[in-house]
Amino acid sequence: MRSCRWPRRIQANQPPEKPARFNTTRDRLLALGCPYAAEHLDHLLTEAVSQAMAPHAFLDRLLEVEHSGREGRRVKTSLKMSGLPIGQTLENFDFAFQPAIERSRIATLATGAWIRNAETVLMQGPPGVGKTHLSVALGTRAVEMGFSVLYYRFDELMTALKVDAGLPPAQLKRRRYMNRRC
């Protein structure tokens, strides 16, 4: 014979306990390496119940949160490792200040097609026209598209190359500026 227990009364100032099964789900998400999905599980479940969301739509939303969290972390880490200065983006470049710079040409470069085609871009001009700003902004956009970027000022690169001039080719491949994966 089973014993029948009445549900415990919840005090007015006490939040209801979370069901153990959601803790198990959260633990499994963490064990599978999905920390963003685990972090947002409560909110997404509440949203799914309130909107009577279909199970596949809930799962899609959960995976979307995990993917966007991972992508954000990848971009943040890659930008930090690239050495790119922060704050110089295409959005905050003043094209009105430099009317000689064609916005459409920069927009074409921002697609990253030149990187995929292994082409070289040379930016030249007098000081103060925005070469560095545009280079950094294109590098930032390349990181966002999934490319590896490594930022060197010319004098820093020349110093590194001079220091390594006597190294055999096998050791040069280990240097960051020679590694295609950065």
| Mean pLDDT, range 122-128, rounded to an integer | 89
Each residue of 20-62: pLDDT tens digit? 566 888 999 999 999 999 999 999 999 999 999 999 999 999 9
pTM over cut 0.75: no
Q: Give the separation between CA 72 and CA 66, rounded to whole angstroms.
A: 10
Each residue of 16-30: pLDDT tens digit? 445 556 688 899 999
Run of H or E residues at 132:
helix 131-144
